[in-house]
């Protein structure tokens, strides 16, 4: 016998509809329905914020395997650390807008847009999007159109799921907060922010401990450590690495006292030469990295120059991007890139003090990586960009295959300046920058047969090598003309970092080993060639033939190596770093070193002491001109 009355059956759907339409609890009968109302809307907040966290984590793995994504849930604390900020922000937005759908949409924009940026940065450069990159967003947008930004299945899933969930929330979670409850919820959202930041999200110990939990891809590099922890959590932690925070154990008076033991030394009048520095974009020796079957003419010029130069390996902090890291380390003598917002000491300023005219150029926009302002902070007398120089040479038609104009011009300007007096010229090229054409061969000549390789791999490597060979062909006649120049000149050439060949699989398919499990492998992975070349007048003046093998060094030591070869003592800071160089010639921000001739991933007690002191000295020096 059915005991349900027709009245009860007919009103059940009506009660459900009234429940879902209710905006405030007092619109419902007292008792269970009001309790369910609060529980339903609280669950909507929790579940929707957890969904946003999942969407962010789907993007956080970048090009890595699904095991990395599942690891975020296997080690629930990692999921929790990514979820809590989203939950608190969404709760705060709910208090602000008093609409579940608006809070969800606001949180989606705030967290998923940078998650998407992180995904594409990992995909294009194998580098995560960190807090300091916010200042370079305009620069990134300038070059974004040159890369493949097509969405994959994960991105499409997120693009479908986010608006679908938005509609469901708008239809099914209409609850709003009354005055007191709204104020209480806002306090609940804000109260834990400081303790969570102070004791959790900024804690290096907690960051390291959680990194070791989820280590499917390894934990050698800073990039891998970041990916191991998702996106929101390591992005927040990266704030600690972008602020002007003194190194551990920093003592300003002690740091000042260390450098006070040195004084800037003048360049001897009888050893005074002009110095031309050319930082070449993504310029490296793929043969030295392990690529077999490269056509001999590819590196013909490089081999000839190496035979008549002092040549060695520079170990960058970056690969595929981050040109400014290498150039600013070199100019400042730092082992990690500094952010400059005011005038700062540099080797440029040392040359200024020695009566040199300091100049240089980069064939791109002046605001690219804020070079216009920062090169001024570093002390350059002038710096030329597309805006104020190069565009006029080509009637405004400029592209990235530009060494046919750029290289002759920097040599022409250098010789023009040296006739007027001593000159230090620092130039950063653009040709050779990724991406490299995937679908066809750009150059007529085949530089690598690539038997058995896919068409994509064969095209990418040949187009990279073709650009590199073209750069060398542009360099050689300029150096030959400089060889017999009456003014003594020395040229430092080096690659800023190794190229990112579109996908990791291009390296692997070409048989180039990417061993990141050892310090030796990492040095090969991050190493590029450098050479110090002198013209006949400089050799005669200095009494040296400028040939032989130079040390393997970080970019911050490159000018130390040049000064040693020239017989110059240099600035006070360079004299200090000379002592560090002898023990720690490679100091990478990715956690590997060369210590006393041995590649290592962990320093001994003396090495740690030297590194800690080095960090304190460069921090003190950067702040000394505030």
> Facing residues of 553 across strands?
314
Residue 395 within any structural domain of the chain: no
Residues 306 and 421 in one domain: yes
Residue 584 within any structural domain of the chain: yes
Residue 511 within any structural domain of the chain: no
Per-residue confidence (pLDDT) for residue 370, from 0 to 100: 76
Residues 172 and 74 in one domain: yes
Mean pLDDT to the nearest integer, 466-473: 96
Residues 324 and 366 in one domain: yes
Per-residue confidence (pLDDT) for residue 151, from 0 to 100: 86
What pLDDT, in 10s, does the model give residues 257-271? 999 999 999 999 999
Alpha-carbon gap, residue 387 to 391, rounded angstroms: 6
- Work out how many domains the chain is built from and give that number: 2
Using DSSP's 3-state secondary structure scheme, residue 390 falls into helix
Residues 351 and 233 in one domain: no
pLDDT at 5 over 50: no
Residues 273 and 174 in one domain: no
Residues 330 and 194 in one domain: no
Name the percent of the chain lying above pLDDT 90.
Answer: 67
- Identify which of 496, 484, 66, 175 has the alpha carbon closest to the alpha carbon of residue 324: 496
Alpha-carbon gap, residue 429 to 112, rounded angstroms: 34
Instruction: Give the range among 141-155, 282-296, 504-518, 546-560 with minimum mean pLDDT.
Output: 141-155
Residue 438 within any structural domain of the chain: no
Per-residue confidence (pLDDT) for residue 174, from 0 to 100: 85
Residues 216 and 361 in one domain: no
* Residue 441 vs residue 220, higher pLDDT: 441
Name the percent of the chain lying above pLDDT 70.
Answer: 92
Residue 506 within any structural domain of the chain: no
Instruction: Give the range among 183-187, 211-215, 443-447 with minimum mean pLDDT.
Output: 211-215
Alpha-carbon gap, residue 167 to 101, rounded angstroms: 8
Alpha-carbon gap, residue 256 to 173, rounded angstroms: 61
What pLDDT, in 10s, does the model give residues 564-576? 999 999 999 999 9
Alpha-carbon gap, residue 59 to 61, rounded angstroms: 6
pLDDT at 7 over 50: no
Residue 303 within any structural domain of the chain: yes
Torsion over CA: 316, 319, 325, 326 (sign): positive
Per-residue confidence (pLDDT) for residue 568, from 0 to 100: 98
- Identify which of 495, 496, 625 has the alpha carbon closest to the alpha carbon of residue 573: 625
Per-chain mean pLDDT for the chain: 90
Residues 351 and 236 in one domain: no
Mean pLDDT to the nearest integer, 244-256: 88
Per-residue confidence (pLDDT) for residue 552, from 0 to 100: 98
Residues 208 and 263 in one domain: no
What pLDDT, in 10s, does the model give residues 367-404? 777 788 889 999 999 999 998 999 899 876 666 779 99
Per-residue confidence (pLDDT) for residue 434, from 0 to 100: 85
Residue 509 within any structural domain of the chain: no
Alpha-carbon gap, residue 277 to 426, rounded angstroms: 5
pLDDT at 504 over 50: yes
For every residue of 453-470, DSSP letters joined together read --HHHHHHHHHHHHHHHH
pLDDT at 137 over 80: no
Mean pLDDT to the nearest integer, 116-132: 82
- Say which residues have a Cβ less than 8 Å from residue 423's Cβ, sequence separation at least 6: 274, 275, 276, 356, 357, 358, 359, 414, 417
pLDDT at 220 over 50: no
Per-residue confidence (pLDDT) for residue 147, from 0 to 100: 65
- Identify which of 569, 565, 567, 542 has the alpha carbon closest to the alpha carbon of residue 553: 565
Residues 220 and 362 in one domain: no
Residues 322 and 229 in one domain: no
Exposure pattern of 398-417 as b/e (b: 16+ CB <10 Å)?
Answer: bebbbbebbbbbbbebbbeb
Per-residue confidence (pLDDT) for residue 56, from 0 to 100: 97
pLDDT at 499 over 50: yes
What pLDDT, in 10s, does the model give residues 190-199? 999 999 999 9
Domain that holds residue 383: 252-285+295-388+403-429+473-498+519-623
Asked whether 509 and 454 are in contact (CB, 8 A), the reply is: yes
Residues 193 and 334 in one domain: no
pLDDT at 2 over 50: no
Residue 442 within any structural domain of the chain: no
> Facing residues of 423 across strands?
357
Tell me the Ramachandran region of residue 467: left when phi exceeds 0, alpha when psi lies from -120 to 50, beta otherwise. Answer: alpha
- Say which residues have a Cβ less than 8 Å from residue 593's Cβ, sequence separation at least 6: 519, 584, 586, 587, 599, 600, 601, 603, 607, 611
Per-residue confidence (pLDDT) for residue 570, from 0 to 100: 98
Please report, for the domain that includes residue 538, its CATH number. Answer: 3.40.720.10
What pLDDT, in 10s, does the model give residues 198-212? 999 999 889 988 877
Mean pLDDT to the nearest integer, 36-61: 92
Given pLDDT bands bounded at 50, 70 and 90, which one contains residue 626?
low
């Amino acid at each position: 016998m059915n005991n349900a009355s027709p009245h009860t059956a007919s009103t059940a759907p009506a009660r459900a509809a009234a429940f879902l339409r209710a905006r405030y609890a007092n619109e419902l009968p007292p008792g269970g329905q009001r309790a369910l109302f609060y529980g339903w809307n609280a669950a909507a907040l929790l579940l929707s914020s957890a969904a946003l966290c999942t969407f962010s984590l789907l993007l956080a793995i970048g090009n890595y395997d699904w095991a990395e994504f599942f690891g975020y849930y296997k080690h629930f604390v990692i999921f929790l650390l990514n979820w809590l900020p989203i939950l608190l922000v969404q709760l705060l937005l709910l208090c602000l807008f008093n609409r579940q759908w608006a809070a969800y949409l606001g949180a989606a924009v705030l967290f998923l847009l940078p998650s998407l940026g992180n995904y594409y940065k990992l995909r294009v450069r194998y580098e995560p999007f960190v807090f300091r990159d916010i200042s370079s967003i305009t620069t990134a947008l300038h070059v974004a159109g040159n890369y493949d930004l097509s969405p994959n299945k994960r991105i499409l899933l997120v693009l479908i799921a986010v608006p679908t969930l938005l509609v469901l929330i708008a239809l099914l979670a209409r609850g709003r907060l009354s005055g007191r409850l709204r104020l209480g919820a806002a306090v609940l959202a804000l109260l834990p922010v400081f303790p969570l930041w102070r004791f959790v999200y900024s804690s290096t110990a907690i960051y390291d401990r959680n990194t070791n939990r989820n280590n499917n891809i390894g934990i050698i590099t800073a990039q891998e450590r970041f990916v191991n922890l998702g996106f929101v959590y390591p992005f927040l932690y990266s704030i600690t690495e972008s602020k002007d925070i003194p190194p551990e154990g920093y003592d300003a008076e002690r740091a000042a006292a260390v450098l006070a033991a040195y004084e800037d030394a003048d360049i001897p009048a009888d050893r005074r030469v002009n110095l031309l520095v050319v930082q070449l974009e993504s310029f490296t020796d793929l043969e030295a990295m392990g690529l077999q079957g490269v056509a001999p003419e590819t590196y013909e010029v490089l081999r000839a120059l190496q035979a008549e130069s002092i040549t060695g390996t520079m170990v960058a902090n970056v690969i595929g991007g981050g040109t400014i890291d290498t150039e600013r380390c070199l100019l400042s003598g730092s082992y990690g890139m500094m952010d400059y917002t005011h005038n700062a000491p540099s080797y440029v300023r040392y040359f200024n003090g020695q009566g040199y005219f300091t100049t240089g150029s980069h064939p791109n926009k002046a605001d690219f990586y804020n070079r216009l302002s920062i090169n001024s902070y570093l002390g350059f007398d002038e710096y030329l960009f597309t805006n104020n120089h190069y565009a006029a040479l080509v009637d405004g038609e400029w592209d990235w295959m530009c060494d046919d104009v750029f290289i002759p011009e920097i040599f022409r300007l250098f010789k023009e300046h040296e006739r007027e007096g001593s000159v230090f010229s620092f130039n950063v090229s653009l040709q050779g920058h990724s991406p490299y054409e995937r679908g066809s061969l750009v150059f007529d000549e085949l530089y690598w047969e690539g038997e058995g390789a896919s068409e994509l791999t064969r095209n990418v490597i040949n187009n990279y090598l073709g650009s590199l060979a073209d750069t060398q062909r542009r360099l050689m006649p300029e150096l030959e003309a400089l060889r017999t120049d009456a003014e003594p000149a020395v040229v430092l050439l080096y690659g800023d970092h190794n190229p990112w060949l579109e996908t990791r699989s291009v390296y692997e398919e070409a048989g180039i080993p990417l061993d990141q499990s050892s310090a030796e492998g990492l040095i090969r992975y991050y190493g590029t060639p450098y050479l110090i070349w002198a013209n006949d007048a400089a050799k005669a003046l200095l009494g040296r033939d400028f040939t032989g093998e130079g040390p393997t060094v970080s970019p911050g030591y490159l000018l130390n190596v040049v000064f040693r070869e020239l017989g110059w003592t240099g600035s006070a800071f360079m004299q200090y770093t000379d002592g560090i160089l002898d023990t720690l010639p490679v100091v990478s921000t990715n956690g590997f070193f060369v210590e006393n001739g041995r590649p290592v991933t962990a320093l001994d007690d003396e090495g740690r002491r030297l590194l800690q002191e080095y960090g304190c000295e460069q921090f003190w020096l950067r702040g000394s001109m505030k």
